[in-house]
């Protein structure tokens, strides 16, 4: 049974996929109200009100996924989630249209003084000339951040007869051409635009992206809009420029502090505002709730998520290609870790054969998580595997090769410590399953599932018999046994599997036998 905490107001109809699922309990409570039971939740669903800090994450040791019913994840400490192995997903396009429409409504309201005119009439006045506005037609609209929302605004602006200038360092010339917009640097755009609207995420680079220094290069009387995140336009600087009438007016849906109690921008008539309503439509809220509900469900069922912030995005088709090897590499990592009784310096993997014509990075993350899972206490998975390796100074190598050692596909993993190294090869055969086919250069074949004992010994009569006798005397049943050697009379290996893990006592007894070089226990 998975327990999911819905901590913000998320549209209940959109949560239907989770409500319909078996083995899922959905609890709608604010964090403060759920304080006593935070440790029980497997998933957390939020909008922008809940601040998902590292402190909160640490109070939720069972948490596996955080879902943001919306776009911006600036209310979530994503690095902390990553460190704790928690997947973060969002709903990237469910509220695009609503936010673009809201921005457009704000733009029209700003140009025609609609909120001011509205208040004036309600106050019993009839001041027509005081609210003379400007047309949007023929004006230059500067869009900063040409992603999903920026793109939808550009389309609407074109229909209004506006000339669209955009600044986005990541915009390709192809997309600019398709959208029929002029791509410029920020320095070029600012002096040309009559109206500027920002649609970037809030990051360390975009915080204060528009400030008094660069806004002074704008035309006197420019209009500014922020329906993205508070702080992209520096609030103090904006206040100063509005007082000077350098900026004629601003439309703000978002603020650095929300609600913006005491914010001096609210004192100015030239500022029109809404309480972070960009995505507040029935349609957008249904879309984002459904998107995240489906993502959480898919994730809890063990399938890949499409909109993760801290995992590589992987499509269903891609996952189908990756899936057969996903568990195999994790088990190979676990074998490597359990057989290396020392610190690990290097993990390298080669994906051999025709099968690997896809992005193998998720497999490498699965391999690394397999290595560290048996060594670390906390959560270890594909989300934090690379971070854990980096923190421990472990070098990771990944190669693709055409050589599959006679198999249709073959994955070769080498785990290196200060003094030793272990080489493992595995393959996957359709309708047959995964097999380990070589350990330390010894050909062998076993299914990597269960409790194992790996014994390296001298190849001579009696060794296998002695092992069997000692186990038999203590009534330990051998489930399977595989042997391998390189040459007669040299070193050889045995891999035995048991229904239960081998006891310490039995391990010691076997270890005392003559002609045994070394042995390891593994649970896979």
Ligand X SMILES: O=C(O)CCC(=O)C(=O)O
Ligand Y SMILES: NC(=O)C1=CN([C@@H]2O[C@H](COP(=O)(O)OP(=O)(O)OC[C@H]3O[C@@H](n4cnc5c(N)ncnc54)[C@H](O)[C@@H]3O)[C@@H](O)[C@H]2O)C=CC1
Task: Give contact residues for ligand X (rule: CB under 6 A).
Answer: 47-48, 70-72, 95, 276, 278-280
Strands 421-429 and 409-417: antiparallel
- The Cα–Cα gap between 336 and 422 comes to 6
Our finding on whether 227 is near ligand Y (CB under 6 A) is: yes
Within residues 17-76, the interface with ligand Y by CB under 6 A covers 70-72
CB contact at 8 A, 279 and 288: yes
- The Cα–Cα gap between 300 and 306 comes to 13
- The Cα–Cα gap between 273 and 109 comes to 10
Q: Is 84 a catalytic residue?
A: no
Q: Half-sphere exposure (CA, 13 Å, Cβ side) for 200?
A: 24
Least separation in angstroms between residue 258's CB and ligand X is 10
- The Cα–Cα gap between 250 and 222 comes to 9
Least separation in angstroms between residue 179's CB and ligand X is 22
Q: How many residues bind ligand Y (CB under 6 A)?
A: 32
Q: Judged by CB, which is closer to ligand Y: 76, or 300?
A: 76
Q: Judged by CB, which is closer to ligand Y: 173, or 487?
A: 173
Q: Which of 156, 276, 425, 435 is catalytic?
A: 276
The window from 38-46, 155-163, 221-229, 382-390 that contacts ligand Y (CB under 6 A) reads: 221-229
The continuous run of DSSP H or E covering 521 comes out as strand 516-523
**Binding partner at 352 among ligand X, ligand Y, none, C-beta below 5 to 8 Å by kind:** none
Within residues 317-346, the interface with ligand Y by CB under 6 A covers none
The values of phi and psi at residue 381, to 5°, are -155, -170
Q: Is 513 helix (H, G, I), strand (E, B) or coil?
A: coil
Q: How far apart are the first and last CA of the chain?
A: 24
Q: Judged by CB, which is closer to ligand Y: 111, or 179?
A: 179
Closest CA to 285 of 73, 15, 6: 15
* Options 33, 54, 135, 205; binder of ligand Y; rule CB under 6 A: 205
**Binding partner at 369 among ligand Y, ligand X, none, C-beta below 5 to 8 Å by kind:** none
**Binding partner at 47 among ligand X, ligand Y, none, C-beta below 5 to 8 Å by kind:** ligand X
**Binding partner at 144 among ligand X, ligand Y, none, C-beta below 5 to 8 Å by kind:** ligand Y
* Options 47, 64, 140, 229; binder of ligand Y; rule CB under 6 A: 229
Least separation in angstroms between residue 433's CB and ligand X is 43
Q: Is 276 a catalytic residue?
A: yes
- The Cα–Cα gap between 163 and 368 comes to 51
Least separation in angstroms between residue 55's CB and ligand X is 22
Least separation in angstroms between residue 47's CB and ligand X is 3
**Binding partner at 434 among ligand Y, ligand X, none, C-beta below 5 to 8 Å by kind:** none
Alpha carbon 123 to its chain's center? 50
In this structure, which long-range contacts are made by residues 294-298, counting pairs with CB atoms below 8 Å and at least 24 apart in sequence? 294/17, 295/65, 295/67, 295/89, 295/91, 296/4, 296/18, 296/43, 296/45, 296/65, 296/67, 296/89, 297/17, 297/18, 297/21, 297/24
Least separation in angstroms between residue 262's CB and ligand X is 22
CB contact at 8 A, 66 and 52: yes
Q: Which of 229, 425, 428, 457 is catalytic?
A: 229
Within residues 295-314, the interface with ligand Y by CB under 6 A covers none
SS3 content of the chain, % helix, strand, coil (to 5): 35, 25, 40
Our finding on whether 187 is near ligand Y (CB under 6 A) is: no
Within residues 153-172, the interface with ligand Y by CB under 6 A covers 167-170
Closest CA to 264 of 255, 253, 274: 255
* Options 12, 115, 133, 201; binder of ligand Y; rule CB under 6 A: 201
* Options 4, 7, 149, 190; binder of ligand Y; rule CB under 6 A: 149
Q: Which of 40, 188, 258, 346 is catalytic?
A: 258
* Options 50, 99, 337, 338; binder of ligand Y; rule CB under 6 A: 99
DSSP state of 355: T
Active site residues: 229, 258, 276
Residues in contact with ligand Y by CB under 6 A are 70-72, 92, 95-96, 99, 144-150, 167-170, 199-202, 205-206, 227-229, 253-254, 276, 278-279
């Amino acid at each position: 049974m998975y327990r999911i905490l819905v901590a913000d107001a998320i549209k209940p109809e959109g949560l239907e996929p989770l409500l319909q699922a078996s083995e899922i309990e959905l609890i709608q409570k604010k964090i403060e109200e759920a304080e006593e039971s935070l440790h029980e939740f497997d998933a957390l669903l939020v909008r922008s009100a809940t601040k998902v800090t590292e402190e909160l994450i640490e109070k939720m040791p069972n948490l596996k996924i955080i879902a943001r019913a919306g776009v911006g994840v600036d209310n979530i400490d994503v690095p902390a989630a990553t460190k704790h192995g928690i997947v973060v997903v969002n709903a990237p396009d469910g509220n695009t249209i609503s936010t673009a429409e809201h921005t457009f409504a704000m733009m029209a309201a700003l140009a025609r003084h609609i909120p001011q005119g509205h208040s004036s009439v309600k106050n019993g006045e009839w001041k027509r000339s005081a609210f003379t506005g400007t047309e949007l037609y023929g004006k230059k609209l500067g869009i900063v951040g040409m992603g999903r929302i920026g793109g939808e605004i550009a389309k609407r602006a074109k229909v209004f007869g506006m000339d669209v200038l955009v600044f986005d360092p990541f915009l390709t010339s192809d997309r600019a051409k398709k959208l029929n917009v002029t791509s410029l640097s920020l320095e070029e755009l600012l002096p040309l635009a009559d109206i500027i609207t920002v649609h970037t995420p809030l990051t360390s680079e975009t915080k204060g992206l528009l400030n008094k220094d660069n806004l002074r290069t704008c035309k006197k009387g420019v209009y500014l809009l922020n329906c993205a995140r508070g702080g992209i336009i520096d609030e103090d600087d904006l206040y100063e420029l509005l007082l000077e009438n350098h900026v004629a007016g601003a439309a703000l849906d978002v603020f650095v502090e929300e609600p913006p109690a005491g914010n001096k921008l609210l004192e100015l008539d030239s500022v029109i505002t809404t309480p972070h309503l960009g995505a507040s439509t029935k349609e957008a809220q249904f879309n984002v709730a459904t998107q995240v509900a489906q993502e959480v469900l898919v994730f809890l069922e063990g399938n890949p998520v499409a909109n993760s912030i801290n995992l590589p995005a992987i499509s269903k088709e891609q996952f189908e290609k990756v899936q057969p090897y996903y568990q195999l590499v994790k088990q190979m990592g676990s074998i490597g870790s359990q057989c290396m009784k020392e610190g690990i310096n290097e993990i390298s993997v080669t994906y051999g054969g025709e099968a690997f014509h896809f992005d193998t990075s998720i497999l490498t993350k699965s391999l690394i998580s397999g290595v560290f899972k048996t060594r670390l206490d906390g959560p270890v998975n594909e989300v934090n595997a690379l971070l854990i390796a980096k923190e421990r100074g472990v070098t990771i190598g990944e190669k693709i090769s055409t050589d599959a050692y006679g198999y249709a596909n073959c994955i070769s993993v080498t785990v290196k410590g200060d003094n030793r190294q272990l080489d493992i090869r595995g393959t996957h055969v359709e309708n047959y399953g995964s097999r380990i086919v070589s350990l330390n250069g010894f050909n062998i074949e076993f299914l990597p599932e269960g409790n194992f004992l790996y014994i390296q010994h001298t190849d001579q009569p009696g060794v296998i018999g002695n092992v069997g006798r000692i186990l038999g005397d203590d009534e330990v049943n051998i489930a399977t046994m595989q042997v391998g050697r390189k040459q007669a009379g040299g070193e050889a290996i045995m891999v035995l599997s048991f229904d239960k893990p081998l006891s310490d006592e039995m391990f010691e007894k076997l270890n005392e036998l003559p002609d045994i070089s070394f042995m390891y226990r593994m649970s896979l």
